[in-house]
Amino acid sequence: MNAKTEYCENVHAIEGGAAVEIIDQTLLPNSLTYVTLRTLDECYDAIARLQVRGAPAIGIFAGYAFAALAHRAPDDSFAAFKTYMSHVHDRLVSARPTAVNLAWALDRMMGIVDAQSKENAIAICCALDEEAQMIQREDVAMCHSISEYGLSLLKDGMGIITHCNAGPLATSRYGTGLGPLLLGTERGMHFKVFSDETRPLLQGARLTTYELEKAGVDVTLICDNMASLVMDRMSIGACLVGCDRVAANGDVANKIGTSGLAIIAAHYHVPLYVMCPSSTIDMTCASGADIPIELRNGDEIKTMFYNAPTAPDAVPCYNPSFDITDHSLVSAIVTERGICRPPYSESLRGLAEKK
């Protein structure tokens, strides 16, 4: 795979902007299938079912979905259009609560609608199409910049552990958490990467190993509970992860299991680097305690990937999709505007003021 081209359009507008086409990530790695979404229910389900997933990709998709639904909105009056688009905003925002990029992108799109003072359906749709494309273009540039900064923290030959999937499928082009690995590999560097499988939805097994293997990166799959032994025995130099929301104090929400990995990494003195666009930093959340954690259906743990249930039918499951890594366990937060180091309450504020 050439990281520069293969996934740069894993979300894009079709049918003159009135529909969105995505890779159905639930079918990977066994089938590379594109699906077309046209209705609000289909767009909502695509986010909720993780057909499109990863914080930046959800934001990009939401931008295109919002624009597509504007093309299909009732055209009785400007007031009715605005009311409908506000409903679209609120429904899509509710599809997943943790990744702040979803609300960030939809607020941006709603801002375009709110800024229109008169009825001109064609002009409004054009402005929305352009804004959605802009969100995606910005993400391409952000991923490249994050990858460059991230690569400056790594050394040729390094052993790396990554959790979940923060690659091209979750973003645009290079990705965030996987970006330095793809960029470094393009430049002839070698990394020995261990990918946590990432229970229960297996984004590490299904998506990260798929992306890294195709890009020619040396990747080995491990179960989540093997990270400690791997750090003890395999000369690991860094843990690289993406994230869904960073609080003002540097606490990080990312895929369930990240905080456990961070605790293990601290024990072995392995740095944990969190890579994310600055749009993932939410200064309105003082700490991780303010970040909502998505709870998902227990079937994902017990039945989804198995021929027979792995636990008695009546056993309840607790299935939080994300956890909070305390800022004290994070060695650096790498954004497109630079690398933030502790104390994060100062470095993140400085970054926000640079806007």
Query: Beta-carbon neighbour count of residue 301 at 10 Å?
Result: 20
| Site size toward ligand MRU, by CB under 6 A | 19
Q: In what order do the strands lie in the sheet with 245-247?
A: 281-282, 245-247, 252-255, 322-325
Per CB under 6 A, the list member of 3, 43, 67, 99 interacting with ligand MRU is 99
Q: Return the residue matching tokens 């993406």.
A: 242
Q: Is 145 in the site for ligand MRU (CB under 6 A)?
A: no
Q: Is 71 in the site for ligand MRU (CB under 6 A)?
A: no
Q: Which stretch binds ligand MRU (CB under 6 A): 163-171, 222-230, 264-272, 338-346?
A: 163-171
Per CB under 6 A, the list member of 46, 164, 247, 334 interacting with ligand MRU is 164
Per-residue mark of binding to ligand MRU, 177-206 (x: CB under 6 A): --------------------------x---
Let me know the angle formed at the C-alpha of 104 by 99 and 106, rounded to the nearest 5 degrees.
110
Q: Which stretch binds ligand MRU (CB under 6 A): 66-74, 84-92, 134-142, 164-172?
A: 164-172
Looking at beta carbons only, is 17 or 175 nearer to ligand MRU?
175
Q: Is 54 in the site for ligand MRU (CB under 6 A)?
A: yes
Is 313 catalytic? The answer is no
Which tokens hold the place of 355? 């806007």
Looking at beta carbons only, is 110 or 143 nearer to ligand MRU?
143
Q: Which of 144, 299, 325 is nearest to 244 (CA)?
A: 325
Looking at beta carbons only, is 100 or 113 nearer to ligand MRU?
100
Which tokens hold the place of 200? 């229960």
Q: Is 176 in the site for ligand MRU (CB under 6 A)?
A: yes
Q: Is 244 in the site for ligand MRU (CB under 6 A)?
A: yes
Q: Which stretch binds ligand MRU (CB under 6 A): 107-115, 170-178, 308-316, 328-336?
A: 170-178
Q: Closest separation between CB of residue 202 and ligand MRU, Å? A: 10
DSSP per-residue string spanning 245-302: EEETTS-EEEETTHHHHHHHHHHTT--EEEE--GGGEETT-SSGGGS---B--THHHH
**Residues pairing with 340 in the sheet:** 333
Residue of this chain nearest to ligand MRU (CB atom): 242
Let me know the angle formed at the C-alpha of 202 by 34 and 322, rounded to the nearest 5 degrees.
105
Per CB under 6 A, the list member of 254, 278, 325, 331 interacting with ligand MRU is 254
Looking at beta carbons only, is 17 or 242 nearer to ligand MRU?
242
Determine which helix (DSSP H) or strand (DSSP E) holds 237, and give its type and residue range. strand 236-241
Q: Closest separation between CB of residue 40 and ligand MRU, Å? A: 20
Q: Closest separation between CB of residue 6 and ligand MRU, Å? A: 16
Burial class (CB in 10 A: 0-12, 13-18, 19+), 323: buried
Looking at beta carbons only, is 71 or 206 nearer to ligand MRU?
206
CA dist., res. 119 & res. 238, Å (int): 54
**DSSP reduced 3-state for 159:** strand
CA dist., res. 18 & res. 216, Å (int): 36
Q: Which stretch binds ligand MRU (CB under 6 A): 52-60, 150-158, 189-197, 266-274?
A: 52-60
Q: Which amino acid is at 31?
A: S
Q: Is 55 in the site for ligand MRU (CB under 6 A)?
A: yes
Q: Which of 355, 49, 36, 31 is nearest to 201 (CA)?
A: 49
**Residues pairing with 333 in the sheet:** 274, 340
Catalytic residue among 244, 251, 282, 323: 244
Catalytic residues: 244
What residues make contact with ligand MRU under the rule CB under 6 A?
50, 53-56, 99, 164, 166, 170-171, 176, 203, 241-244, 254-255, 321
